[in-house]
Amino acid sequence: MTQLAKKSKGTPVVEAVTSADKTFITLRTDIVEGRILAGAKLSEAELSTKYGVSRAVIREAISRLMACHLVERKANVGARVVTLSPEGLIELYQVRESLEGMAARLAAQNMTSEQITDLQSLLDVHAQGVKDSQSYYQEAGDVDFHYRIIIGSHNSQLITLLTEGIYHLVRMYRVQLGMAGPRVTTAFAEHQHIAQAIANRDAELAEILMRRHITYSRQNIEHKLKP
Amino acid sequence: MTQLAKKSKGTPVVEAVTSADKTFITLRTDIVEGRILAGAKLSEAELSTKYGVSRAVIREAISRLMACHLVERKANVGARVVTLSPEGLIELYQVRESLEGMAARLAAQNMTSEQITDLQSLLDVHAQGVKDSQSYYQEAGDVDFHYRIIIGSHNSQLITLLTEGIYHLVRMYRVQLGMAGPRVTTAFAEHQHIAQAIANRDAELAEILMRRHITYSRQNIEHKLKP
DNA sequence: AACCTAAGAATTGTCGACAACTTATGACTT
DNA sequence: AAGTCATAAGTTGTCGACAATTCTTAGGTT
């Protein structure tokens, strides 16, 4: 009886979690946070003994990592963590600029007023963090801000694309290439302007500001990479 | 010896093809072209006997279909072809508008002059097809036009996202929702303008025209869906 | 020494069987 | 009759073994 959490009769409280799920999550965080390096080989036998599960489970987990574009696999050769190039990170930011720009536009149109007030109160909390310069929480806060706008777009295709795919990739690139978190202080002001545009339901402006915000981040990265 | 095609010594001419590869491709075309209907269950045992392979192969193929967002799977329940809603198709077109708009902009900057002349000669061929109104080839031609611009963006993240993911989804939605191919005659003129902007290396205009082009397609679909 | 060849080792792909879970069936209670 | 519960049947998840392929290494040839 591994499935404990059920309502008395009807639907389960949480989705069923297989050991492949857990292995996938574990591997994903290990890759994203750099404990498994870029280009590293994912040996099925090795991982199998390490996590105490069969190779089938490992293969399942690797399949999902491939779906996230975090690893690549060649037939009869094996799976490797994707190798990172500075150009690849730039390309990713171009995609982000486009998609998150649209997310901001749709968010201005589709966010509920409750979601908007939540977004603004989130920024109030961040304002305090900026003063105290708690860089760790600012990294998480940045993710959180963008995440809420993505969700606020109410476009499920877009949400899936960004939250299940691109975001993990961006985080991995940042860690692997030794980038610190986002530009803290300046970025915060940009966040405020974006939130204001959304609150005003100004879709065009929200898109422009978000694109510019991400463009700045990209340029910031380009500058660090090619001094 | 299933791997025939090798050079005398070095790298194989074609990538190795596993039976999971073939099963995946077969299932994908069956789904995209509507031979397996939306919402249909993909029973592992059934497919296993149908294609004469083990369940492991079927599971591998289904994993890749999930990566394309063509099927969804719940743990201990099974995989189903994604169910289609008109809203979902609209959402997809919003994503396309954003991504292909960027593709056009990048193509104007990055396409080689050879790629550009190829693109223009493709349109010359299409011009003939429009006269003869060969609707089948125009469907393929539309795909081909967009495909070349995507490739011309030279952004590998974007290329993967569109060609391995979104395009198959769009085709499936179109078939399932009984949409005919794209708006033939008017769309052709739009293609010509986009190609011209790219040839002129006018990135901004190329993006605007492409976004407008896809917006028109979306509105065309919205009109057909809600009369 | 460099290069090709062939056997051996190691890894991935595929298979069939069993375990765990979900759904369907039917008896039992109120 | 409706609902609950237990059992049965069917499906998916996991496992270990074998087959097919790739990589390694030792040997021989020029």
Q: Do residues B44 and A44 lie in contact, with contact meaning Cβ atoms separated by under 8 Å?
A: no
Taking the C-alpha atoms of residue A226 and residue A224, their distance in angstroms, rounded to an integer, is: 6
- Which tokens go with B36? 């397996």
Give A69's DSSP letter: T
Within residues 2-61 of protein chain B, the ones with CB less than 7 A from nucleic strand C are 9, 18-20, 52-57, 60
Q: Out of A74, A76, A91, whose CB is closest to B157?
A: A91
Top pLDDT among B179 and A11 is at B179
Residue A11 has pLDDT above 50, yes or no: no
Q: Does A9 touch chain B (CB under 8 A)?
A: no
pLDDT digits (tens, 9 = 90+) for A123-146: 998 888 767 766 656 677 888 999
pTM above 0.80, yes or no: yes
Whether residue B91 and residue A155 make contact (CB cut-off 8 A), yes or no, is yes
Cβ pair B75:A101 closer than 8 A:
no
Q: Which of B123, B122, B126 is nearest to B138 (CA)?
A: B126
Contacts by residues B1-5 (CB-CB < 8 Å, ≥ 24 positions apart): none
Tell me the chain B residues in contact with residue A75 when contact means C-beta distances shorter than 8 Å.
15-18, 21
CB B122 within 8 A of CB B148: yes
Distance B206 CA to D19 C1' (A): 53
Contact by Cβ (8 Å): A30, A36: yes
The residue that leads in pLDDT, A17 or A184, is: A17
How many other C-beta atoms are found inside a 10 Å radius of the C-beta of residue A215? 15
Looking at the domain covering A86-225, what would its CATH class be? mainly alpha
- Cα dist. A121→A155, B85, B147 in Å? 23, 34, 43
Chain A residues whose beta carbon lies within 8 Å of the beta carbon of residue B155? 91, 94-95
According to DSSP, the β-strands at A41-42 and A71-74 are unpaired
pLDDT of residue B181: 62
Q: Which helix (H) or strand (E) holds A164?
A: none
Kindly report, residue by residue over B22-77, the tens digit of the pLDDT.
999 999 999 999 999 999 999 999 999 999 999 999 999 999 999 999 999 999 99
Determine phi and psi for B102, rounding to 5 degrees: -65, -40
Q: Is the pLDDT of residue A52 over 70?
A: yes
Rounded, the Å distance between the CA of B133 and C1' of D12 is 49
- The pLDDT score that the predictor gives to residue B112 is 97
Quickly give A10 CA vs C29 C1' distance in Å: 21
B160 part of contact set with chain A, CB < 8 Å: yes
- All residues of chain B having their beta carbon less than 8 Å from the beta carbon of residue A76 are 16, 18
Under DSSP, the state recorded for B172 is: H
Q: Do domains B3-81 and B86-225 have the same CATH topology?
A: no
- Most B-contacting residue of A15, A73, A91, A208 (CB-CB within 10 A), to test interface: A91
Question: Is the per-residue pLDDT at B178 higher than 90?
Answer: no
What's the whole-number mean pLDDT along residues B196-221?
Answer: 96
- Both structure tokens of B145: 């036009």
Other beta carbons within 10 angstroms of residue B177's beta carbon come to: 16
How many whole angstroms separate alpha carbon A195 and alpha carbon A217? Answer: 18
What is the spatial distance between Cα A100 and Cα A143, in angstroms, rounded to a whole number?
A: 12
Amino acid A161 CA to nucleotide D10 C1' distance, rounded Å: 35
Please calculate the CA angle A35-A40-A45 and round it to the nearest 5 degrees: 95
- Contact in structure between A157 and B90 (CB atoms under 8 Å): no
Which amino acid is located at B9 in the chain?
Answer: K
> Helical H runs in B111-202?
113-132, 135-152, 156-160, 167-176, 184-199
The DSSP letter of residue A166 is I
Q: What are phi and psi of B74, to 5 degrees?
A: -110, 140
Q: Where are the domains of chain A?
A: 3-81, 86-225
Q: Is the pLDDT of residue A46 over 90?
A: yes
Q: Which value does ipTM take for this structure?
A: 0.88
State how far the Cα of A132 lies from the Cα of B221, in Å rounded to an integer.
Answer: 51
**Does A88 contact B at CB distance below 8 Å?**
yes
More confident position, A71 or B173: A71
- Architecture of the domain spanning A3-81: Orthogonal Bundle (1.10)
Identity (one letter) of the amino acid at A2?
A: T
B134 falls in which pLDDT band (50, 70, 90)? low
Closest CA to B21 of B2, B1, B37, B36: B2
Task: Report phi then psi at B68, rounded to 5.
Answer: -80, 0
Show the tokens assigned to B29. Answer: 């075309």
In this structure, the number of other CB atoms found within 10 A of the CB of residue A80 comes to 15
pLDDT, tens digit, for every residue of A147-196? 999 999 999 999 999 999 999 999 998 888 877 666 666 788 999 999 99
Q: Measured in whole angstroms, how far is the alpha carbon of residue A131 from the centre of its chain?
A: 25
In chain A, helix, strand, coil percent, each to 5? 70, 5, 25
Rounded (10°) CA dihedral B153, B157, B163, B168: -140
Q: What is residue A107's predicted lDDT score, i.e. its pLDDT?
A: 98
